[in-house]
Structure 1
Amino acid sequence: MSSQVYEKFTPLHNAKLVLGYLTSMVDAQEDNLPYWLVLPHKKPAEAAHCRVDDAELVGSWYEAIDAVRKMLKTEEGAAVQQSFYRHLMKSWGEHGLRFHEPYPWTHTNHSSFHEMGYILPALNRMLENDPGDGEAESRAAGLVRGMRSLVIERKVRTFWSGDYEEQEPLYEFPNDVYLKDGGFELSRHTGRGEQAIRNAIVLHSLVRRYEIAGDEAALDLATGIANHLLGPSRYFNYKMEFFGHVHSAGWVASGLVRLGRVTGKERYITAGKGIYDYIRSLSSSFGWVPEYAQWHPPHEEHCETCCIKDMIECANELILAGYEEYWEDMTLFARNQLVENQLKVTSYVVTDNTRPDEAGITYREIDQRMIGGFTGGSLVNSMSLSKFRSIAGCCVGMAPVALEIIWNRAVEFQNGMVIVNMPVDKETEEAAVTMSYPDQGHMSITVKQPCDVAVRVYDWMGQNLSMKINGAVCTPEREGNLLVIRSIGAGDTVELEHPLETVAVKETVRGEEYKVSWRGCDVVDIAPRGEHLRLYQRDLRIPKVYPTQADVHFTGATNYGPTQQTQGSK
């Protein structure tokens, strides 16, 4: 093999980087409370606390750190993960809802149903890790029942032609916030609108809760929320198109597919697939996903990494529901825009390590602590560091979940067969897989025990595929999109090879035309090139171009008071 020319897809490296962010962008004085708000454009740069740190972030960062620690099989970060656990177990109130501590930087203390969509997955993960965790079980059960007690249950449809009993549960929340002192006060709201979809992101974790604990209340609540969303809410049209927040809609889509798989009701799967396909129609082939649908003109949209996670998670659910064509999206989205949206260079950041931290604000080594974070709004060809949420705590919580899904599914062992679903370097108990993408179209699988071997093939591999066993050409069986070789002995090596060339394709994304250079499943360049932080600089023969401190100017608001902090609360 020749020396490496292009950057490889290395999810363990991405996991290592984000673990560094998760363990350093925290406040040791507040038991490692996360910092959501990171401001790289300021001179000096800073990270600041806001309400969302102790709301959704302690849940999503618990999931994130658990995901990457499992990928890396490391004890690093265990103490910080335990801090997130302690934060999660505080601040619970009536109706089983989680609120937050009364920090100096918080305002009206309330619980948001959207935020409970981040808290319940963390509780589910705790119980997956330790089924005997009584406190996590109590909180999860209490949260489900508390939310169930607060919904409006629509039982009768009163119309001009008569009264008709509803045949299935229909549940909706009266508001999107519940005040710690005051409950539902309908004069208060988050102001984000779209309550039906934003309140419904808990759907996926409700179904998971039912799977883990057999919790019928969770399944009932999930069913009622889904029925309302797909019916009286009128949020989606007949083609499952919508107006608004893509992160919420994509997350709900994965919940609908999972609900359909668990209940055997195909209509939920069909609806989730329709939502996914609509979002996909607004996205690029390599995973740039807009933050909103039909809210801004396309050229004003940015890509929030949370949305990429939703697409990967929903694609995985659809694959599990039998739609194997979504393997391609999972592969292309993960190894391109997902990892490009991770911050890896901070030489342009102005850091002042002599400036002491203040209450709720930290300046220390922000340039180093930022590395590994994920952007809340990338352009197609660059990460604009002057944009508010250029680095976003919410995305740091979501991206590792997508990385873990990809890592777990890339190479699997089922019924005596090693299945390589995606080209990736990975070693399991059963086999060691190496790949040469995007330099060459080559994969190698060395098995550690007698087994069958299957390799998933894609259209971008072309027709001239060759397989070998220990260097000798062989003829595999074709089973759908899998090439299968039977009865491989321990220590034997199976190889897949095919020609690989750079292909430039014109694609319209965000209302603009780009020339996208592909090598198989990897984008190696995009033109025109962007600023500030140029993406897809993957040709190692070409010196990379990074912004200097003078290149980064912020043109938005500089006072991050209550209004700006509210933006941080997803």
Structure 2
Amino acid sequence: MYEKFDPINSAKLVHHYITNMCDPAYDNLPYWLLLPNKKPAEAAHCRVDDAELVGSWYEGLTSAMCMLGTTDGDDVKQSLRRHLMKSWGKHGLRFCEKYPWTHTVHASFHEMGYILPAMNLITEEYPDDEEAEKRTSELVRGMRSLVIERKVCTFWSGDYDEDEPIYEFPNDVYLKDGGFDLTRHTGRGEQAIRNAVSLQGLVRRYELKGDEVALDLARGLANYVLDTSKYFNYKMEFFGHVHSAMWFACGIVKLGRLTDEKRYIEKGKAIYDYVRSLSSDFGWVPEYAQWHPVEEEHCETCCIRDMIVCADELIKCGYKEYWNDMNLFARNQLIENQVRYSGYVECDNSRPDSDGITYHDIDKRMIGGFTGGSEPNSISLTRFRSIAGCCVGTAPVALKTVWDDAITDDDGILTVNIPCDKETDEIKMESFIPNEGRIRLTAKKSCAAGFRIYDWMRDYTVYLNGKEINKTSAQLNKDDVLELKFDISTVEKKETVRGIEFTVCWRGCDVVDLTPKGAHVRLYQRDLSKPKYYPTPDDVDYTGAANYGPTQQKK
């Protein structure tokens, strides 16, 4: 027997994390920084909790609650909503509260990429919230007022008017007291791409509200990044932060789809294809492209989210081949990147929470979090981002995307795209993968239903009420049963990931084992007939480095 893909259980786990890894003393303010390898383990506040996480966790918690069909956790959700409605300032930007751990109060345009989607969601969920609508509108217009608009290209051979909007922000830091100070920067580099991650939120704002200013800003930022910035080469390859580049790709594909401008879709597809070439078949996506030696690279769960969301957008544009990526990435590395065991954590519940640090029950509260740095075969606990607050907010968005897409209406046929256990008003889907090559649909009412066929469904046959049929869909009456059966014998494939050759054991679309095995928290221990290996506290060393930058860390 093997573990099955269970997106609902993953939603329950991340719901648990978000609703427990927050601070009641500060109206459920999230903790970004979690140090499970420190002895004793702790979680500590930092500026990003209020600057970014209140947005991403609002979106993540809402996604989990929608999947679960529950109102449990609404108290935390409303706390996050209250935080989001504070700290607004000049030019409509959202800053952060001046907490003891805040240091300089500022806004960054990368962080607006987390705030704007949350505000869009609030205006969608609570259409009578006039303040939320006002803040969202002012944020869009404030960002538009701060860009440099490139109108004329003064080339060596003459002056040429730009015929399309080209917008860039002067800096990646905007001080609450002082505005743009060009002697300051975030130090992250790549300002062109990191300042443009709000693109997806801008396009969503246009989709929801018909906001032409949002559309204009989206176009201008997209044009700058795609051309003037020279961030991407002619093949749309790049050097840098995968999460930012793929988040941008999600935005430009959506921009192209809504405006019927194919050039944007094609550019976004090319970015996706480049990152896919750096990733594994089972969804391990590098955090950076060509910044580290490949053997030092890790997978940030945010990047898997971006690949899944971008695949969803490309599918909507007619590229059906991306269904396979969405399926394999979600049920393998996305799920493996979630923390489900914490026996290696040392807690000291006698220590009181103080100075923005919490110690109590970290081992229990951390269950359901997502890693910011997995290797293909393990979550390395020597890395301070073994659990990352940003990934906790983005992963549920990916889960909900997959859950919503598991069964879709494809020209009047309810089509199974992502095999799992799920019920709709019309049908009940049961997946027996990876234990059996079988997916069963039971009609709850009269409907047409069928299956999307993948290459890994070897020698498949479709049955209607036990009788073989020669097509992949059928018209069903109530209680009719439509089954797809295929060969699911274990297949071993060699794949080089992170500079290491792995033997990947596939059963259908699920990886059930991966060798060589990893250190610390081993992944892909899915064979239930074998005892699982877990690290102990003695296996884990704390090396500090909680504030290391991305290029300073090797492990």
Taking structure 2 as the reference length, what is the TM-score of the superposition? 0.98
Q: Counterpart of 1:231 in 2: which secondary structure?
A: helix
1:497 aligned partner, one-letter code: K
**Structure 2 matches for 1:161-560, cutoff 5 A?**
161-413=157-409, 416-462=412-458, 464-476=459-471, 483-485=472-474, 487-557=475-545, 560=546
Task: Say which is worse superposed, 195-204 or 131-140, in terms of deviation.
Answer: 131-140
In structure 2, relative to structure 1, the CA distance for the partners of 1:313 and 1:123 (3 Å cut) is same
* Cα drift, residue 159 of structure 1: 1.2
- 2:66 is aligned with 1:70: yes
C-alpha distance in 1, partners of 2:299/2:104? 30
Paired residue for 1:111, among 93, 107, 112? 107
In structure 2, relative to structure 1, the CA distance for the partners of 1:29 and 1:556 (3 Å cut) is closer
1:65 aligned partner, one-letter code: L
Do 1:50 and 1:565's aligned partners in 2 also have CA atoms closer than 8 Å? no
Cα deviation digits, residues 532-560 of structure 1 (max 9, x gap): 00000000000000000100012343xx4
C-alpha distance in 2, partners of 1:504/1:279? 24
Cα deviation digits, residues 115-170 of structure 1 (max 9, x gap): 00000000111122222321221111000000000000000011121111000000
Cα deviation digits, residues 442-498 of structure 1 (max 9, x gap): 001111111111210100002x2111111122221xxxxxx221x210111111101
2:406 aligned partner, one-letter code: A
Q: Counterpart of 1:67 in 2: which secondary structure?
A: helix
* Cα drift, residue 414 of structure 1: 5.4
Paired residue for 1:150, among 146, 149, 160? 146
- 2:55 is aligned with 1:59: yes
Task: Say which is worse superposed, 307-316 or 128-137, in terms of deviation.
Answer: 128-137
Q: Counterpart of 1:174 in 2: which secondary structure?
A: coil
1:208 aligned partner, one-letter code: R
Which structure 2 segments of 5+ residues have no match?
none
In structure 2, relative to structure 1, the CA distance for the partners of 1:21 and 1:88 (3 Å cut) is same
Paired residue for 1:79, among 75, 97, 113? 75
* Cα drift, residue 566 of structure 1: 13
* Cα drift, residue 564 of structure 1: 6.6
Aligned length: 553
C-alpha distance in 1, partners of 2:503/2:550? 37
Cα deviation digits, residues 489-528 of structure 1 (max 9, x gap): 0111111101111011010001111100000100000000
C-alpha distance in 2, partners of 1:555/1:81? 34
2:239 aligned partner, one-letter code: F
In percent, how many aligned pairs have the same letter? 64
In structure 2, relative to structure 1, the CA distance for the partners of 1:564 and 1:352 (3 Å cut) is farther
1:526 aligned partner, one-letter code: L
C-alpha distance in 1, partners of 2:466/2:253? 43
1:474 aligned partner, one-letter code: I
Cα deviation digits, residues 68-97 of structure 1 (max 9, x gap): 000000111010000000000000001000
2:150 aligned partner, one-letter code: R
Number of the residue aligned with 1:10: 6
C-alpha distance in 1, partners of 2:9/2:126? 27
Which structure 1 segments of 5+ residues have no match?
477-482
- 2:109 is aligned with 1:120: no
C-alpha distance in 1, partners of 2:368/2:551? 24
1:244 aligned partner, one-letter code: G
Moved over 3 A (4+): 413-416, 563-568
Q: Counterpart of 2:40 in 1: which secondary structure?
A: coil
C-alpha distance in 1, partners of 2:60/2:410? 26
Cα deviation digits, residues 253-312 of structure 1 (max 9, x gap): 111100110111111001000100000000000000000000001000000000000000
2:433 aligned partner, one-letter code: Y
Do 1:413 and 1:430's aligned partners in 2 also have CA atoms closer than 8 Å? no
1:252 aligned partner, one-letter code: F
Number of the residue aligned with 1:140: 136
C-alpha distance in 1, partners of 2:194/2:364? 34
Cα deviation digits, residues 370-399 of structure 1 (max 9, x gap): 100000000110001121111000000110
Cα deviation digits, residues 174-209 of structure 1 (max 9, x gap): 000100000000001000010000001001110010
1:46 aligned partner, one-letter code: E
* Cα drift, residue 415 of structure 1: 5.5
